Chains A and B, each alone.
Chain A
Amino acid sequence: MKMIEVHNLTKDYGNYRGIFDLSFTVDQGEVVGFLGSNGAGKTTTIRHLMGFIHPQQGISKIFDMDTFSAAKQIQSKVGYLPGEISFLNDRMTGNEFIRFMMETKENVSTEQVRHLVDYFELDTRIKIKKMSKGTKQKLGLVVAFMHNPSVLILDEPTSGLDPIMQNKFVELIKSEKDKGKTIFMSSHIFEEVENTCDRVLMVKDGHLIADKGIQSIRGTNKKHYTITFATPELAKAFTRVHADSTFDGNYKVSFLLDSSVNDLVHELVHYDVQDIAVRNQTIEEVFMQHYGGTKA
């Protein structure tokens, strides 16, 4: 059963900003990651799903109802975590805000709230304006999950959380998935999505460039190496052996490598190496490397 449906959704803000002809669906019980760099159109898509903005073209539906005109009916069964965390009144304590949201949402079980507060080790006695970014994020998560919604829309849920809390979040998502919840979460961190999602949607410049199961992506994440040689001649010699590497014309050679680190180390013994820099590929690089051709 399709819980979220988006067809040809377009919102043009000018200057190539916005989203263009976006189409995807999310089935019940699915956890879908929505990846893209800053300004790629993630938040614009979520604003449509939340009924905050009208589409210029296309349709966005949750529970088979239009997300703008039927927002009231939809929203009572949706849990939402905003990307930018700011609460109604900073002078409220966490506890006051939680109580306010319980009254506003209605039918919230105190049990569920207590469980979430304990689970995230949230100190609800402090005033919101005194809270750290991570604590505010936890408060936002408690509010998003408190009314046991069947669909969750989370905009960058782990931003500000420490690694332990990030793991707890991943566990929570897994247990919610087991209960049959549908989860749609945006992120620009590949690992977060890799650990929780069944499927990944990738958006770039407002266009959907990939819609893939996580299994087909897993393991393709290579590392990006940049090696600085002592002389340009050595660098050039190295490039001749590795045809897929790029040479900056000076001392540096860059290339992608998956698991054969041992071979590389053995090979580099024969060169005079000044520096080795290694970083993870950005999500975009991962996608462009594998699905580059599908770019709209």
Chain B
Amino acid sequence: MIRSLMKQEVKANYKLYVIFLSIIAMYAVTLVAMYDPSLKDSLESLEESMPVVLAAFGMQDMGTTLLDFIITYLYKFVLIVTPFIYSIVMCYRLLAKYVENGSLAYLLNSKHGRTKIVITQWVNLFLGVVVMIAFNTGLMIVCCSMMFKGALDIPRFLLLNLGLLALQLFIAAFCFMFACLFNDVKYSIGCGAGGISLFIIMQMFFSVYDNAKILLYCNPLSLFNPRQLVNGNIVSVISLVVLLGLTAIFLTIGLLGFRRKDLPL
């Protein structure tokens, strides 16, 4: 890892971290505050009135506990999309931009090779994802214990966040792989952003239509199944290992591609 580059990136991107953490904090705090155990009945009637719209955002089968409530409103959409946008922005800022404007030449004109540069930028990208999810986890635990003492099943909630972390590392690695493989921003950012967006849209679409459930499972995002995961379903736990395995594969492909490719500097 290149320490000077690490330091420089944190300095250059801290404002972005603050923005993303604020967005997450806003969602987390508002949502926990909205929880009202007696609301259950009215939510059920809401689900009955517009099942399709709610299903598209993963809000069907809402359940009754605080954990169910949180999963329904945050872990099906908001906490998938927000860190994903962060990953896309960072893939551009950490690598694609330097290839595009040629400034990578300065980094390569040193004793550090391509491998070291790529590894440093992975660490930068991943650290942001880890911090974001750890921040969200901590903040929600604090909020829940302040507002609804004892209502949150903390061990299950931690397992849920571990799952989210695995999914977000997978998404970040998927996007980063394309940033490593291509020189043109159209592809280096477009493929990652487009691919994951497509998976998200597919997931929204196929959650609505019961007869297309099989397609739902052709989607890597379905490897993170929050509701089954908190119930300790062994398949869901194994799915997380698969996500981490895929993460490692994407990173390796990206690194090997970056080491071999022609750079337009």
| Interface residue? B232 (CB, 8 A) | no
Question: Known contacts A52-B263, A89-B8, A103-B3: does B106 contact A143 (CB below 8 Å)?
Answer: yes
Interface residues of A in 23-51 (CB under 8 A from B): 47, 50-51
Q: How many A-B residue pairs have CB under 8 A?
A: 74
Binds A, one of B61-69, B109-117, B220-228: B109-117
Give complex CA distance A267, B70 in Å.
97
Is the pair B12, A91 in contact by a Cβ cutoff of 8 Å? yes
Is the pair B262, A88 in contact by a Cβ cutoff of 8 Å? no
| Interface residue? A76 (CB, 8 A) | yes
| Interface residue? B5 (CB, 8 A) | yes
Interface residues of B in 97-156 (CB under 8 A from A): 98, 101-103, 105-114
- Interchain Cβ contacts under 8 Å between A and B, 9 examples: A47-B265, A76-B110, A86-B103, A87-B106, A88-B98, A88-B103, A100-B4, A105-B110, A106-B110
Most buried by A among B103, B111, B114, B264: B111
Give complex CA distance A106, B3 in Å.
11
| Interface residue? A101 (CB, 8 A) | yes
| Interface residue? A82 (CB, 8 A) | yes
> Given A75-B109, A103-B3, A103-B7, 8 more contacts at CB 8 Å?
A50-B108, A52-B263, A52-B264, A54-B260, A75-B111, A76-B110, A92-B12, A104-B5
Is the pair B109, A87 in contact by a Cβ cutoff of 8 Å? no
Interface string of B1-27 (1 = CB under 8 A from A): 011110110001000000000000000
Interface residues of B in 199-240 (CB under 8 A from A): none
- The smallest C-beta distance from A140 to any residue of chain B, in angstroms, reads 9
Contacts of B109 in A (CB 8 A): 50, 75, 78-80, 105, 144
Interface string of A173-210 (1 = CB under 8 A from B): 00000000000000000000000000000000000000
Contacts of A53 in B (CB 8 A): 262-263
Question: Known contacts A84-B102, A100-B4: does B111 contact A72 (CB below 8 Å)?
Answer: yes
Contacts of B3 in A (CB 8 A): 103
Q: Which 6 A-B pairs have the closest CB atoms?
A: A103-B4, A72-B113, A76-B111, A53-B262, A86-B101, A80-B109
- B-side residues, CB < 8 A to A, are 2-5, 7-8, 12, 98, 101-103, 105-114, 260, 262-265
- The smallest C-beta distance from B258 to any residue of chain A, in angstroms, reads 12
- The smallest C-beta distance from A55 to any residue of chain B, in angstroms, reads 10
- The smallest C-beta distance from A296 to any residue of chain B, in angstroms, reads 24
| Interface residue? A71 (CB, 8 A) | yes
Closest B residue to A72 using CB positions: B113
Contacts of B107 in A (CB 8 A): 88, 104
Interface string of A82-112 (1 = CB under 8 A from B): 1010111101100000001101111000000
Contacts of B114 in A (CB 8 A): 71
Give complex CA distance A129, B10 in Å.
20
- The smallest C-beta distance from A83 to any residue of chain B, in angstroms, reads 9
Most buried by A among B8, B106, B112, B113: B106
Give complex CA distance A92, B8 in Å.
10
Contacts of A105 in B (CB 8 A): 109-111
Most buried by A among B5, B98, B105: B105
Give complex CA distance A89, B106 in Å.
12
Contacts of B7 in A (CB 8 A): 103
Closest A residue to B105 using CB positions: A82
Is the pair B265, A75 in contact by a Cβ cutoff of 8 Å? no
Contacts of A88 in B (CB 8 A): 8, 98, 103, 106-107
Closest B residue to A107 using CB positions: B111
Question: Known contacts A53-B263, A103-B4, A104-B5: does B105 contact A80 (CB below 8 Å)?
Answer: yes
Interface string of A157-169 (1 = CB under 8 A from B): 0000000000000
Q: Which of B2, B102, B105, B260 makes the CB contact (< 8 A) with A104?
A: B2
Is the pair A82, B8 in contact by a Cβ cutoff of 8 Å? no
Give complex CA distance A86, B106 in Å.
9
Contacts of B112 in A (CB 8 A): 72, 104
Give complex CA distance A104, B109 in Å.
9
Closest B residue to A47 using CB positions: B265
Give complex CA distance A253, B239 in Å.
82
- The smallest C-beta distance from B249 to any residue of chain A, in angstroms, reads 25
- The smallest C-beta distance from B200 to any residue of chain A, in angstroms, reads 31
Give complex CA distance A104, B7 in Å.
11
Contacts of A92 in B (CB 8 A): 12
Give complex CA distance A104, B260 in Å.
23
- The smallest C-beta distance from B184 to any residue of chain A, in angstroms, reads 15
Contacts of B2 in A (CB 8 A): 104
Give complex CA distance A142, B12 in Å.
23
Q: Which of B4, B106, B265 makes the CB contact (< 8 A) with A52?
A: B265
Contacts of B108 in A (CB 8 A): 50-52, 71, 75
Closest B residue to A149 using CB positions: B109
Give complex CA distance A101, B110 in Å.
9
Contacts of B263 in A (CB 8 A): 47, 52-53
Give complex CA distance A144, B110 in Å.
10
Is the pair A104, B12 in contact by a Cβ cutoff of 8 Å? no
